[in-house]
């Protein structure tokens, strides 16, 4: 192999705001899944959902657990994503963020036709 294929190509700089939406979506999904698990546990009788220092069980645990996890997700996920973007921005002042693209090898026969449909 020659040296040109081994080295990744530097395409361009990345802006920190490009990380905001994936982080936001990932955090919201993770918190909602955790809240759903706690809600089901509270529904089944475990002391996982607490309101005013008292455990909540049954159908009210489902509603309270899902509602509180949604509220926490809407508050803390954007806050976390903003702090990550601020950190990336501060880091980009010292050293620019770059995207590296490495060529991916395709299996034979895949992607050769570039989406062309066979003629009838």
Q: What is the pLDDT of residue 95?
A: 86
pLDDT score, position 101: 64
pLDDT at 52: 94
DSSP of 14-47: --GGGGHHHHHHHHHHHHHHHHHHHHHHHHTT-T
pTM of the prediction? Answer: 0.63
Give residue limits of the domains in the chain: 19-101
95-112 in b/e burial notation, b at 16+ Cβ within 10 A? eeeeeeeeeeeeeeeeee
pLDDT by residue for the chain (120 residues), tens digit each? 555 555 555 566 666 666 778 888 888 999 999 999 999 999 999 999 999 999 999 999 999 999 999 999 999 988 988 898 888 888 888 987 776 667 677 766 665 555 555 555
């Amino acid at each position: 192999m020659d040296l040109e294929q081994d080295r990744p190509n530097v395409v361009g700089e990345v802006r920190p705001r490009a990380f905001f939406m994936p982080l936001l979506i990932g955090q919201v999904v993770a918190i909602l899944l955790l809240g759903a698990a706690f809600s089901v546990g509270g529904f089944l009788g475990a002391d996982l959902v607490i309101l005013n220092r008292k455990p909540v069980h049954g159908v009210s645990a489902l509603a309270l657990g899902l509602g509180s996890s949604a509220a926490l997700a809407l508050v803390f996920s954007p806050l976390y994503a903003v702090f990550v973007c601020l950190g990336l921005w501060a880091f980009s002042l010292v050293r620019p963020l770059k995207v590296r693209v490495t060529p991916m090898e395709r299996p034979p026969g895949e992607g050769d036709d570039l989406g062309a449909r066979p003629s009838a």
